[in-house]
Every structure is written in structure tokens, then in C-alpha cells.
Amino acid sequence: MSLNQKILENLRDEIHMHTHLYYVKDAPIISDYEFDLMLKKLTDLESKFPQFFDINSPSQRVGGKVSKNFNNIKHDYPMYSLDNSYSKKDLDSFYSRILKKIPDNDLNFLCELKFDGVSINLTYENGVLVRAVTRGDGVQGDDVTENIKTIKTIPLKLNGDYPSKFQIRGEIFIELNDFNKMNIDRTNNGLEPYMNPRNTASGSLKLQDSAEVARRPLKCFLYQVVSEFDESKTQYDNLISSSKWGFNVSDSYKLCNTIDEVFDFINDWDHKRNNLDFEIDGIVIKVNQIDYQKILGFTSKYPRWSIAYKFKTLQVSTVLLSVSYQVGRTGAITPVANLNPVLLGGTIVKRASLHNEDQINKLDLHLNDHVLIEKGGEIIPKIVDVQLDERNLDSNRILFINKCPSCQADLSKNESEAHHYCLNFNSCPPQLTGRIQHFISRKAMDINGIGNETIQLMFQNKLITNYADLYTLKKEDLLSLERMAEKSVENVFKGLNESKKVPFERVLFALGIRHVGQTVSKNLAKKFESIDNLISQTYDELLLVDEIGERISKSVVNFFKNEKNIINIEKLKTVGLQFHSEIKTNVTNVFNDKTFVVSGVFEGYSRDQLKNLIEINGGKNLSSVSSKTNYLLAGDKMGPSKLKKAEDLGVDIISEQDFNKLLIFKP
Ligand code: AMP
Ligand code: ZN
């Protein structure tokens, strides 16, 4: 091994170790910043020495590979379901079935949480992850290895004395906090929230673009080694070993000697589960000894040595007192049910989310209804049913409001959208403060020193009405605010000053244009390079941009039509915020003067990656085929009209392979 390769390998090992310490052990020993630097160094070295490419390098975690469809793989060991039990009696009969074949003197059980996610089967060879397959129908599943590699709690390389070849199973899930954050982001961007963490986790595994999967906050607990190896004597030992090899094993398991002990464990978790960061839907009980598991074997559906105990979903009944309405920063109205306070799973519940008008109508809610509430995937509980026999005959139906609860403006609703909106963009208070809060948030301008409450205070004291006002704040104004000492004021100014370095794409996101989230901002910034250029685009021109549809185009044009927004932007320009993309230097000029249209789905790249490659090698991307197009880079599932037009105009139609050749075989 050459010295360079050695350095590279050492660095990779070091990063694997820190990833493990951070994500699995929750005990990092270096700062995020140092970690980022190491990763940056690795990617730099890797691009310098492409000959030492390693498919399991930590740099591969960011994803980027696009799968058109997933290969179907037959499981070496079928992925069975678990038989269910709901009572102590069910467990007793599970035990007596086992006793018919196994002596009870040394029989014991390992109890684990039943993680509510989506299961995955991982294969490791020589300590390296080689394949990840979904459960599918239990007999065969989809090969989702590329997507799985982006999950940081799944080791790409193992430590210690792992068997040379084995398979292990686990559950992929999304923590409740992360799930709620995703939904807040989505609703802020005018998208429908996801229904529950489990479906979102399982949907994420089937995404075609692994870079998108990398952005999803997926985690994994491993719970079952399925191959045999020398030291594999009990489930308990296997969990301990798995953890040593680097797997994320939940430490909630317990060895129990009797069914009474098992039942104690169940009852314990029936209470404690409400404090977990993730969802479980029960407990899994497994015969601990692997030899006994083998004797017991499987039915056609279930292992005979294991059973799930299912918790009852926590539901209570309470009375609906009123419905109030919240206004988000985009003007979206969210109804919230105010309830007679009631204890549900250890917490007092006073409110339940109602999402939108459809939800209210579906439940046919009336005032003072007795409603059943349930803790679902979200932290705020939801109303699942109404007890009609308890309804007063003269109670009033809940009618959705038609005026904004904050500014009394008329609400509007598009057929295609679930939410009502207050269109009083310029003076509806929660929209004004919401927009400023969005502006300072971490993914936008990331202004340290100012928090959401400070914004509220500043707004109430009439120091600011929009985000541009932030930059003209005076020291004495701030000092006049409650709890604002000299030091905090200094921090505010420091934060504002720092924000002048934030790149254009994030400034664009920070402006808070409805439906323009992070990805769209990035696309627009890349495509138009400056705010002035973007402002001058018409609705039809915007439609031509990749992934920009009617909804977004309309929203962008509307935003810039509003004079107040233009004035704010001008002010922000004067202050020195970035309204231009940075000028990129090209890697080569292979594609100088060449224009491309990229269309369809590709094997080795996402469309964005291809476009980037074209640009950094001197070429230009066009969004539609015309006589000015040099190449149509054609992938799978490309629109037939583009193809026909290219043929008619005599444009060169090239494949991904042709493209690779063009890139490589030129100087
Ligand atoms: P079911 O889908 O209800 O038949 O239950 C079987 C599923 O439970 C398995 O496929 C796993 O995805 C899931 N599961 C969650 N936690 C565990 C665990 N600790 N041990 C075994 N299976 C588990
Ligand atoms: Zn309003």
C-alpha cells in the first residue's frame, strides 16, 4: 500500500470511528466543526486520488446515486412476521406451547422493544456492509443498499472480532422530534405534512435519489443476528456482540427468567413508552437460547420461539371546548381543538391538532362533542373519533372561519390545496413576525444572537415590521427592550454582521416566498445567478426551470410583484447581503460553447449532478430543445416530445455512457 493510500485509509477509519461515537454512542469526542473538517479533507484527498476509491468510504454517506428500480433479492433466511399477543393469558399459552418441547429448568426469554418502523436485512462480508434488502413479502425484498448507506447509525465498517460473513436485522425509524421538524418545514413551505413516522421511513427507503434519502433523519436499531457463528449461543450474547462490532443496539432489552418477569417488563414499558423519542407498538419476547430456537423452528408464518405483545393504542375521551385557529408565516390557517384537560399516557392534554377544514368535516365535529383522542406519531395528539351517542341535539356544528383570526382579512382556498390562507401578506401580524422568524432561522440567514422571542418583542415595540428593518436597528432601541443587556445587544449586531456572508441561495430561501423551500431556492439561485435576473423572469420563463411548476412560478412572480418586497430587497442589498451566486471556476473547458438538455432518469447520476458536471466543465444547460441545442442527454423515461423535437432538429442525442466518454476522452 502506498503512503497516500495509507493516509486515506487511516482518515476513513478515523471518520468511521467518530461517526460511531456521535450517532450510535451519542458521545462525540470532537466538535461538529472538527468532524466537518475531517470529512472535507477526506473528500479533497479522494478527488485527488480517485484510484483509491472505496465504495464504503464515509464520503459515500451523502448519497447521490440514483436507482431507477430496485433489484429484487431472495432472502437467505425468510423474514417472518411475529405472532401477536394481547394479554397475560396469551403469554401463558405461548409459554406452555414452548414447554412441550423445551425443559423449563434453564429456559429464559429476552424481551425487547418492538420498534415501529420498517425492517431491513443487512449483509456484512469481512466487516463491510455489502447489501441491504427490505422485507418485501418476507421471501424476497428490494435491494436498497445505496439508500441505506446514508444512514449514519448503520456502520459501513465493523470493529473487533465479527464473523467473516453474516446477516443482521434491524428496524429503520424516524424519531418523533425529527418527524415533527420535517412537518414544520413542510407546512412552512406550503406542503402537506407527512402522516406518521413509520410510513415516512418506509417511503424514504424507496426514494430513487439517495441524496434525498441522506436528508431524511433516518435511524436504525439492530436487533437480530440471523446467521450462525461460533459464539452465537444466545440472543443476549448476540446483542452484546453486535453492539461491540459497532451496531446501534437499543439498551432497553432485558433477560427474563419467568413469564411473570416478562409481564413486569411489559407493564413497565407500557408506562415508560410515552417518554421515548421514537414509537414502539409493543414488546418482542424471544426464547434466549439459539439451540432452543432451532428446536422450536417456524410455522409457515411465524417463529415459534418468539411473540409480539401489542400495546393498546392510548386513547381517552374528553370534551371539545372550542376550536381556535393559528396563522403561520405563509398565511396558512391551522385549526386546533381546545379540549377539556385530560390525562393521556402520563401527560395532560389540552389541545389536539385538526390539520385543516377537511379534517373537521370528516369528523363532523360539533361543539361540546365527546371526542376520542389518541397519541399518534406526532407529539400533539389527534382526534380520531366522535362519540355520537353523547352529542347534544342542539349543539352547533364547527364551521371553519372565513376571516383571519388575527387581521380579519378574508381567507382564500385553492381547490388543489388543503389549507386556507390569509392573503393579507403586508400587514397580518403573525405573518409579519413569522416571516422575520423564518428569515433569522438556522437554515435561512442563521442569525445568532436573535431568537424568536426577541423578534416578537421587537415587533411589539414597533422596532421592526419586516426583516430589512433588522439591519437598521439602533443600539439604544435594543437596550430599551426587556432583558436586553449590553452583551446581548452586541451579539445581535455581531449576528447580523455575520449574516452578510450567507450565500445567495440561502438569502433567497430566507425571503420566505411561499412554496420556495431550500431545494427550490438552490435551483433558482443556480439557474438565475442573481436576484435581479430572477425578478425579471416571467411566469412562463420560470416554468421552464427544472422542477418548477405552476404553483411555484405563480408564487415567485406574485412575490416580486409586491412593491414592499422589492423595497425590502433593495434595502438588504444596500446593507450588503449576497444577491449574486458566487462565481465558480471551471474544472475543465471540455464543454466550452456546448449546450445541453438533460432529460429523463439516469443510472449513475441525478439530473442535478449531470447539470453540475456540464457547468463545471464549461457547458451550458438549456431547459428545452431548440435549434441552439448541441446535445440532448437522454435518460430513461424521457418525454417523447423532447426526443421527437431533437430528432426533427438534428440535435445529437447522447446516452449517459456517451456523456462519460465525452468527459473523459477530451484533454
Ligand atoms: P409484524 O410486522 O407485526 O408481524 O412484526 C414483525 C416485525 O416487527 C418485524 O418484521 C420487525 O420489523 C419488527 N420488529 C421491531 N422490533 C423488533 C425486535 N426487537 N425484534 C424483532 N422484530 C422487531
Ligand atoms: Zn391575517
Written as nine digits, the cell of 506 is 440561502
Residues spanned by the domain of 476:
429-501
291 and 348 share one domain:
no
Q: Looking at the structure, tell me whether residues 466 and 569 fall in a common domain.
A: no
The reply to whether 173 and 287 lie within a common domain is: yes
**149 φ/ψ angles, rounded to the nearest 5 degrees:** -60, -20
Question: Do 338 and 298 belong to one domain?
Answer: no
Across 428-437, 492-501, 596-605, least confident range: 596-605
Distance CA 520, CA 508 (A): 10
Q: Quick one: which H or E segment has residue 280?
A: strand 280-287
**In the predicted structure, residue 279 carries a pLDDT above the cut 90:** no
Residue 667 has pLDDT above 80, yes or no: no
| Domain shared by 178 and 299, yes or no | yes
pLDDT at 639 exceeding the cut of 70: yes
Judge whether 536 and 527 are in contact, CB under 8 Å: no
Assess whether 386 and 531 both reside in one domain.
no
Residues near ligand 1 with C-beta < 6 Å? 81-82, 112, 114-115, 119, 135, 171, 223-224, 284, 308
Known active-site residue 114: yes
What is the Cα–Cα distance from 98 to 413, expressed in whole angstroms?
A: 60
Average pLDDT over residues 555-570: 96
* Among 284, 285, 311, residue to substitute to test ligand 1 (most atoms within 8 Å of Cβ): 284
pLDDT tens digits, one per residue of 442-472:
889 999 889 999 999 999 999 999 999 999 9
Name the pLDDT band for 270 (thresholds 50, 70, 90): confident
Task: Kindly identify the ligand whose nearest atom is closest to the C-alpha of 83.
Answer: 1
Residue type, 8: L
HSE-CB of 536 using CA atoms within 13 angstroms: 6
CA–centroid distance for 505 within its chain: 20
Asked whether residue 554 falls in the same domain as residue 630, the answer is no
Number of domains in the chain: 6
Ligand 1 center to 304 CA (angstroms): 14
Strands 84-85 vs 306-310: parallel, antiparallel or unpaired: parallel
Spacing, Cα 594 to ligand 1 middle (Å) = 54
pLDDT at 666 over 50: no
Sign of dihedral through CA atoms 31, 36, 39, 41? Answer: negative
Each residue of 564-600: b (16+ CB within 10 Å) or e?
ebeebbebbeeeebbbebeeeeeeeebbeebbbbbbb
The C-alpha cell 451579539 sits at 491
Three-state DSSP at 225 gives strand
Answer whether 201's CB lies under 8 Å from 153's CB. no
- CA of residue 169 to ligand 1 center, whole Å: 10
What's the pLDDT at 638? 85
SS3 category, 347: strand
CB atoms within 10 A of CB 51: 8
Please tell me the least confidently modeled range out of 25-34, 95-104, 123-132, 318-327. Answer: 25-34
Q: What is the DSSP string of 591-609?
A: TTT-EEEEESB-SS--HHH
CATH of the domain at 383: 2.40.50.140
pLDDT for the residue 134: 95
Instruction: Return d(Cα 320, Cα 381) in angstroms, integer.
Output: 13
pLDDT of residue 396: 93
Q: Chain centroid to CA 303: how far?
A: 33
| Same domain, yes or no: 191 and 97 | yes
Express each pLDDT in 140-159 by its tens digit: 999 999 999 999 999 999 99
Best residue for ligand 1 mutational test, from 86, 122, 171, 243 (most atoms within 8 Å of Cβ): 171
CA of 315 to the centre of ligand 1 (A): 23
* pTM of the full structure: 0.59
The mean predicted confidence, pLDDT, of the chain is 90
Q: Does the pLDDT at position 111 exceed 80? A: yes
* Average of per-residue pLDDT across 645-654: 92
324 and 382 fall within a common domain:
yes
Q: Do 280 and 182 fall into the same domain?
A: yes
Q: What is the mean pLDDT of residues 225-236?
A: 88
Task: Specify the ligand 1 atom closest to the Cα of 281.
Answer: 15
**Cell numbers at residue 389, please?**
351517542
CB 144 within 8 A of CB 229: no
